[in-house]
Amino acid sequence: MVEAGTHEKGDVFVSIEDGKREVIIKSKLERLYGEAIRDTVEELTRGIEAKIIVEDSGALDWVLRARLEAAIRKYGGEKV
Amino acid sequence: MPINAVGREVPSEINGQRFKPFAGDLKTPPEGRRAGSLIRMAPRGRSKVINSLEEVIKKVGLEDGMTVSFHHHLRDGDFVVNMVMETIRKMGIKDIRIFPTALFPVHEPLVPMLTDGTIRRIEGSMNGPLGEATSYGAMRETAVLRSHSGRVRAVESGEVHIDVAFIAAPTADPYGNLNGVDGPSACGPLAYAMVDAYHADHTVAITDHLVPYPAHPISIFQHQIDYVVPVDKIGDPQGIMSGTLRITTSPSRLKIARYALEVIDRVALKDGFSFQAGAGGISLAVTKFLGDLMRKKGIRASFINGGVTKYVVDMLHEGLVDVVFDGQAFDLDAVKSLKEDKNHIETPLAMYGNPYSSGGIVNMLDVGVLGATEVDIDFNVNVNTHSDGLLLHGIGGHQEVAAGSALTIVTVPLYRYRVPVIRERVTTVTTPGEVVDVVVTEHGIAINPKRDDIIESMRGSKVPIYDIQDLQKKAYQICGKPQEPKITDDIIAAILWRDGTIIDVVYKVKK
CA–CA gap between residue B88 and residue B118 (Å, rounded): 8
B264 and B215, same domain (yes or no)? no
Residue B122 has pLDDT above 90, yes or no: yes
Are B483 and A32 inside 8 Å of each other by CB?
yes
Strand ranges of the sheet holding B202-207, from the earlier edge strand across to the other edge: B119-122, B96-100, B67-70, B164-169, B202-207, B227-230
* Structural domain count, chain B: 2
What is the mean predicted confidence (pLDDT) over B327-345? 96
For an interface test with B, the pick among A6, A12, A32, A38 (most B C-beta atoms closer than 10 Å) comes out as A32
B342 and B373, same domain (yes or no)? yes
pLDDT at B486: 84
* pLDDT more than 70, % of chain B: 100
What is the mean predicted confidence (pLDDT) over B22-34? 96
CA–CA gap between residue B380 and residue B42 (Å, rounded): 50
Residue B443 has pLDDT above 90, yes or no: yes
B236 and B257, same domain (yes or no)? no
- Taking CA–CA distances from A60, the nearest residue in chain B reads B418
B211 and B347, same domain (yes or no)? no
Q: How far is A66 from chain B (nearest CA, A)?
A: 15
Q: Residue B288: which residues within 8 A CB-CB, separation 6 or more?
A: B247, B311
* pLDDT more than 90, % of chain A: 92
Phi, psi of B11 (to 5 degrees): -75, 160
What is the mean predicted confidence (pLDDT) over B420-445? 97
For an interface test with A, the pick among B250, B417, B488 (most A C-beta atoms closer than 10 Å) comes out as B417
Residue B263 has pLDDT above 60, yes or no: yes
| Interface check B485 vs A, CB under 8 A | yes
H or E element at residue A12? strand A12-18
Residues B372 and B419 sit within 8 Å (Cβ to Cβ): no
Residue B246 has pLDDT above 90, yes or no: no
H or E element at residue B67? strand B67-70
Domain boundary among B212, B240, B268: B240
What is the mean predicted confidence (pLDDT) over B376-384? 97
Residue B17 has pLDDT above 90, yes or no: yes
What is the mean predicted confidence (pLDDT) over B281-306? 94
The count of CB pairs under 8 A between chains A and B is: 41
pLDDT at B323: 98
CA A9 to chain centre: 15
Residue A79 has pLDDT above 70, yes or no: no
| Interface check B341 vs A, CB under 8 A | no
B115 and B83, same domain (yes or no)? yes
Are B486 and A32 inside 8 Å of each other by CB?
no
B458 and B312, same domain (yes or no)? yes
Residue B135 lies in domain: 52-240
B75 and B113, same domain (yes or no)? yes
What is the mean predicted confidence (pLDDT) over B59-71? 98
Residue B14 lies in a domain: no
Name the 3-class secondary structure at A66.
helix
pLDDT tens digits, B251-261: 999 999 999 99
Residue B506 lies in a domain: no
Residue in B165, B162, B117 with CA at minimum distance from that of residue B141: B117
Which one is predicted more confidently, B64 or B487?
B64
Residue B394 has pLDDT above 80, yes or no: yes
Q: Which residues of B381-414 are buried (b: 16+ CB within 10 A; e: fewer)?
A: bbbbbbbbbbbbbbbbbbbbbbbbbebbbbbbbb
B402 and B291, same domain (yes or no)? yes
Give the strand pairing for B381-382 and B374-376: antiparallel
pLDDT tens digits, B101-119: 999 999 999 999 999 999 9
pLDDT at B178: 98
Q: Which of A69-78, B61-70, B108-117, B229-238 has the lowest mean pLDDT?
A: A69-78
pLDDT at B493: 98
Residue B145 lies in a domain: yes
B400 and B438, same domain (yes or no)? yes
pLDDT at A78: 66
B72 and B219, same domain (yes or no)? yes
Are A29 and B417 inside 8 Å of each other by CB?
yes
Domain boundary among B179, B211, B240: B240
Domain boundary among B185, B218, B240: B240
Q: How far is A18 from chain B (nearest CA, A)?
A: 30
Phi, psi of B80 (to 5 degrees): -70, -45
Residue B56 lies in a domain: yes
Residues 57-76 of A with CB under 8 A from B: 57-61
Contacts of A61 in chain B (CB under 8 A): 418, 479-480
Residue A80 has pLDDT above 60, yes or no: no
pLDDT tier, B174 (very low <50, low <70, confident <90, very high otherwise): very high
Q: How far is A61 from chain B (nearest CA, A)?
A: 7
CATH number of the domain that residue B344 is part of:
3.40.1080.10
